[in-house]
Chains A and B, each alone.
Chain A
Amino acid sequence: MSPIIQGLITIVIGVGGCVGYFYLANLVLDKVIFPARGANIGRNINRANQIRPWLFLFPAMFALGLYLMYPVIGSFVRSLYDRAGTDFVGLGNYARLAQNPDFRQAFLNNILWALVVPAATTFMGLLIAQLTDRLRWGAFAKSLIFMPMAISFVGASLIWKFVYAQDPDIGIINAIRAAFGATEGLDPLQIPFWNNFLLMAILIWIQTGFSMVILSAALRGIPEETIEAAIIDGANPFQVFFKIKVPQIMGTIVVVWTTVTILVLKVFDIVYTMTGGNYGTEILPSFMMDFMFRDDGQATAVAFVIMLVVLPVMIWNIAQARKEMR
């Protein structure tokens, strides 16, 4: 069966199934289990209304439970078993990881990513949001900077392969070096340590648009009186920006920062496409893919380490959400 037809059938079955489920479940609840008639009509309606939320929630809860909550436990349990999944090895996989120099390298690189990328993204986003705020062509400029958001990490990596290429007739960096008299082409992706930053630049390039859009909206939301008052008091534009605007949007800056941090800890495409983890650029997600399909025990152990790194952000996020709901 051709995949397109299969896809169309899936859409029909999926959508029809969902609509059918919601509609029929409601119908059964109201007409059969707790009919709104007869002696207990009042109690029946109340009971039906108590159950209905769970009818609405059930498919989502089922999918979330199966696809996101079960794996957290499943992965942890799997990481306690050996490669074949038959022998219990306790924390053996983690111990092996800790002794693996590649893992340590990946871990340190990941920390570096998690520090540099969110900081640079937020800073660039804030800078551009502020610069374009009063510009007549600001909206146009922003939409161009926002554009990489639509590009896949793989596509973006290819785009930047052209920038970093060793051949000065392809890579613009080496072309500039050649123009300044460098005779030997150099592969920027093989410079130890700094190549990590060149890879980070790709993610910063993609994500700056995201932080720019959000911070730009936050800047617009600042009450104008505060800015006017500061200007009348003689504040220069820099003081207005750093002492009046930035403190007022601090909450949004933190949200952007954490959102990008979470993203950074998951991205494996860039490293995988650009260097394959060679030349000391390995990070945890790409390191995990080295084990995927080969040693599930170690792969899940790496995944669980990623989870542990993300955990503080998750807890902070939940606390934040609870605060907002009150």
Chain B
Amino acid sequence: MDNIAGQKSSLSIVTNIAVFVIVLAWLIPTVGLFVSSFRDRDQISASGWWVAPFSVELTYRTRADATPTRDGDAYVIEGNIFESAEVREVFSSGAATIAGFGLSAREPDGIAPGTETVDRDGGTLTVFEDGSYIYRTLEDPGASGPRVYFSAMTPPEFTLDNYRTVLTADNMDRAFINTLTVTIPATVIPILIAAFAAYALAWMEFPGRGLLIATVVGLLVVPLQLALVPLLNLHNQIGIGQSFVGIWLAHTGFGLPLAIYLLRNYMVGLPRDIIESAKVDGATDFQIFTKIILPLSFPALASFAIFQFLWTWNDLLVAKVFLPSTGDSQVMTVKIADDLLGSRGGDWGILATAAFVSIAVPLVVFFSMQRFLVRGLLAGSVK
């Protein structure tokens, strides 16, 4: 309707700006996480992720370890602090400038570059802005040289170290596999059961059908919390206990109302003619279901599969209750919420990376299958 007279173009500029601002606000938190997951731990705590592409002022600890030379009675060490063994790697990419230096960890950058300072042994140290230093002492400095602290603008550093740590050291790889193990059977099995039930509710005539549909709609709303205690007790009594089998069954049960509801809504809308002419031609219900209904319902099946996949992958509650809490069978959400947030509470890089690892797969599924997801949502709530 853009061609209707009376549409105001000034409004469209405002609209564009408003949408842009909203999208930005929606994206910023996720972008922050994504950027942080690639940053070095020291850099994360030194500057916000929004200035990640710029240099940060960081404090370093090293030794003035160039080879000493004799100058009369004194020993003289001359060199460049950026080339000392302990920090060489950080500054390998380019020159930096010294913001301040010091001799103790308590005051690592209190002395301005170019100023001379005296250490405990009576030696004098000067560090210049470009990193070059002179240390002069009367005592033999030994092979390692004196301790020097300095702070310098450090070029931004993006690494995959966090990912390496998360995926190898923190048992997150195990949690990833556990999540996958929970998710796939818990997605596949309910679809099959629900498809048959949905067909019966959509296309077969029998007494009590309306009541059953109403029951399914009612069960959509039952809070999961109710199921936790009785079912865990049941699982313990019949010997399943807290195990993968238990969580598969639980997810199947909890996913069924939505599955039946979505699939029935979709199947009811399939053209009656096709089904009736198949019946006239002598097809049994079983044949109609497998040969006609299932292939035609593919979009609805796909959309429920995505829902159930996202839901089981992202679930924390069911996994906490129906899986043992030991490290071996933790899924990623439990791992992050119960383990990493406690033990790695302050290590933002690790947290960001773990979160990103856990949301990467759903995001891929989401963006590649968005079409089906939207269609499923609409089938579920708009008539």
Contacts and interface: CB of A to CB of B under 8 A. Distances in A.
7 contacts: A18-B193, A57-B196, A68-B257, A135-B15, A143-B367, A170-B36, A292-B228
Contacts of A228: 1, 4
B323 to A, nearest CB: 10
B314 A72 contact: no
Given A141-B23, A163-B32, A269-B333, 16 more contacts: A11-B188, A11-B189, A22-B286, A23-B286, A63-B253, A67-B231, A78-B229, A132-B19, A141-B19, A154-B314, A162-B29, A169-B44, A269-B316, A272-B316, A272-B337, A303-B229
Contact of B366 (A147, A160, A285): A147
A269 B260 contact: no
Q: Helix, strand, loop or mixed for chain B's interface?
A: helix
B92 interface: no
Contact of B359 (A61, A146, A150, A224): A150
B19 to A, nearest CB: 5
Contact of A321 (B15, B23, B177, B213): B213
Contacts, number: 347
A145 B248 CA distance: 31
Given A154-B358, A170-B44, A72 B222 contact: yes
B29 A154 contact: no
Contacts of B22: 128, 131, 141, 145
A224 B1 contact: yes
A94 to B, nearest CB: 15
A217 B231 contact: no
Contact of A214 (B4, B219, B381): B381
B200 interface: yes
- 10 tightest Cβ-Cβ pairs between the two chains A and B: A67-B253, A74-B230, A152-B314, A150-B366, A60-B197, A56-B200, A158-B355, A71-B227, A303-B225, A314-B221
A56 to B, nearest CB: 4
B192 interface: yes
Interface of B: 1-2, 4-6, 8, 11-12, 15-16, 18-19, 22-23, 26-30, 32-33, 36, 44-50, 177-178, 180-182, 184-185, 188-189, 192-194, 196-197, 199-201, 204-206, 209-210, 212-231, 233-234, 244-245, 248-250, 252-254, 256-257, 260, 284-286, 289, 310, 313-317, 320-321, 329, 333, 336-337, 341, 348, 351-352, 354-355, 358-359, 362-363, 365-367, 370, 373-374, 377-378, 381-383
B260 A75 contact: no
B177 to A, nearest CB: 6
Contacts of B382: 214, 217-218, 221, 252, 255
A108 interface: no
